[in-house]
Amino acid sequence: MTKKKVSSKYLINRRQAISASLAFGTLGVSKSVSSAEVNQENLPPNLPEWTTYLGDGVDVNPYGVPSEFESHVVRRNVEWLTATAESSVNFTPIQDLEGFVTPNGLCFERHHGGVAVINPYDYRLMINGLVEREMIFTLEDLKRFPQTNRFYFLECAANGGMEWRGAQLNGCQFTFGMIHNVQYTGVTLANLLKETGIKPKAKWMLAEGGDSAGLTRSIPIEKVLDDCMIVWAMNGEALRPEQGYPARLVVPGWEGNMWVKWIRRIEFGDRPYLTREETSKYTDLLKDGQARMFTWVMEAKSVITSPSPEKPINNKGLHQLRGLAWSGRGAIKRVDVSLDGGKNWITAEIHGPVLKKCLTRFTLPFEWSGEELLIQSRAIDETGYVQPSIQELQNVRGVNSIYHNNSIGTWLVNSNGTVDNVRLG
């Protein structure tokens, strides 16, 4: 039996980070997105090339795809984080997105046993346990219930998990990108459960996925009846396979692991089920070796998406600082931005609609004349909660928590316009 000490796979320290870099060898300084070479022949007063011939007709792409010049806007992963792609995660390119809607094909993926491929005709949702009637629903049954449409963010509890000890990954995508925000269409569990009834003793709901991980989470009944949904559509079209096609659970404002994809069964019981995902994972280890359990809500957080390591500043003069803010407890009330590492703050402009448990876009115009900047954003939600610094979180929780790092990040804008993820102390 071995008793060697090995660090967590998700949370590597500086020494290990360096050895990981050596192991993979090819990793270098993060590149900025290069501006395409300009062809002078397309510029005034010349006739641009694309004006001189007929373009593609309709139906060249029956399902449209982004411009070929946007091919850098893709999900990316960090290979050294996990042992296998089937149980892994990638990241949403939030630095390249506008507004608050995440396009379906860019929503980050987190799988525990790969993507299940489910024929919608073979799909069944079973509801059993402490209900008046144990029942089975087809997808068509679900779509006949009263419909609800809601925008919600989904954030992985481990978003920013690599940054507890220090600035580690030099990218907005890698440090804040385990989040997406879409409009869901589905049935509220409050409506669906009118059909099965719930016995008075039912206090907890177990949600179970139909994938090869059979992922399971326990959810208290108050939350289930408050705003949870079974959904079959995102942003107006069927769920993508990697987001749980044909149906998934939506648990607004709570950690993404609970939003069970490919949901096949829900069971009601009088106590929690304490599954692998809510004991050995998704518990928050503290300094003294004890761990917090059932830390569900995603607290208020924000990120500056531009400038950011992937979005350097290329010109002096006017720029629009852009970012996103969100809170699992409700609506964003205010976002402040600092350009000097937190010494002075300016309130940013919020772009509506401002919805509860939904990403909120903010901007701030600023003039840049080539000086170094330390840029930060600080979200405040409608409960009055103020996004904390990393030191405030570390003081209470230590550095081995992995989950629920909602601290203020810092980007250093260098005098040449490149941007770095840095830690202040």
**Which residues 136-195 are close enough to bind other proteins by CB under 8 A?**
136-138, 141, 144-145, 166-171, 174-175, 194-195
Residue 167 or 182: the one with the smaller Cβ distance to other proteins is 167
Query: Judged by CB under 8 A, which of 102, 104, 275, 305 binds other proteins?
Result: 275
Nearest alpha-carbon partner for 262 in 220, 219, 192, 208: 208
Interacting residue with other proteins among 267, 302, 403, 413 (CB under 8 A)? 267
Residues 69-128 interacting with other proteins (rule: CB under 8 A) = 72, 76-80, 82-84, 86-87, 112-114, 126-128
Q: Which stretch binds other proteins (CB under 8 A): 43-51, 92-100, 211-219, 235-243?
A: 211-219
Under 8 Å between Cβ of 298 and 359: no
Tokens of residue 398, six digits: 């230590």
> Between residues 250 and 263, which has the closer beta carbon with respect to other proteins?
263
Query: Binding residue for other proteins (CB under 8 A) from 122, 134, 349, 371?
Result: 134
Residue/partner pairs of 19-25 with CB below 8 Å, 24 or more apart: 20/80, 23/80, 24/79, 24/80
Rounded to an integer, what distance in angstroms lies between the CA atom of residue 309 and that of residue 420?
A: 5
Q: Which residues pair with 217 in a beta bridge?
A: 207
Q: Say how far apart CA 45 and CA 424 lie, in whole Å.
A: 50
d(CA 106, CA 65): 12
| Strand ranges in 19-116 using DSSP code E only, listed in sequence order | 76-77, 88-91, 110-111
CB of 203 to other proteins, least distance (A): 13
Would you count residue 47 as binding other proteins (CB under 8 A)? no
277-306 residues in contact with other proteins (CB under 8 A) are 279-280, 283, 285-297, 299
Give one word for 264, left, alpha or beta, with left for phi > 0 and alpha for psi -120 to 50.
alpha
Tokens 């990638």 sit on residue: 90
x/- letters, 342..371, toward other proteins (CB under 8 A)? xxxx--------------------------
The two tokens of residue 289 are 């070796």
Strands (E), 164-251: 179-188, 204-209, 216-220, 229-234, 237-238, 248-250
Task: Enumerate residues 379-408 that contact other proteins by CB under 8 A.
Answer: 380, 383-386, 388-389, 391-393, 396-397, 400, 404
Q: Which is nearer to other proteins, 58 or 83 (CB)?
A: 83
Q: Closest distance between other proteins and the C-beta of residue 188, in Å? A: 13
Query: In the numeric block, which tokens belong to residue 31?
Result: 């590149």
Cβ burial 173-208 (10 Å sphere, 16+ → b, else e): bbbbbbbbbbebbbbbbeebbeebebeeebbbbbbb
Residues of span 316-345 touching other proteins by CB under 8 A: 336, 338, 341-345
CA distance 346 to 40: 41
Beta carbon of residue 99, minimum distance to other proteins (angstroms, whole number)? 25
Q: Which residue lies nearer to other proteins by CB, 243 or 283?
A: 283
> Nearest approach, Cβ of 269 to other proteins (angstroms)?
7
Minimum CB–partner distance for residue 94 and other proteins (Å): 16
Count of residues that interact with other proteins, criterion CB under 8 A? 123
Please choose, out of 153-161, 208-216, 243-251, 358-366, the segment that lies near other proteins by the rule CB under 8 A. 208-216
Among 259, 273, 362, 403, interactor with other proteins by CB under 8 A = 273
Q: Which range, of 95-103, 133-141, 151-159, 316-324, touches other proteins by CB under 8 A? A: 133-141
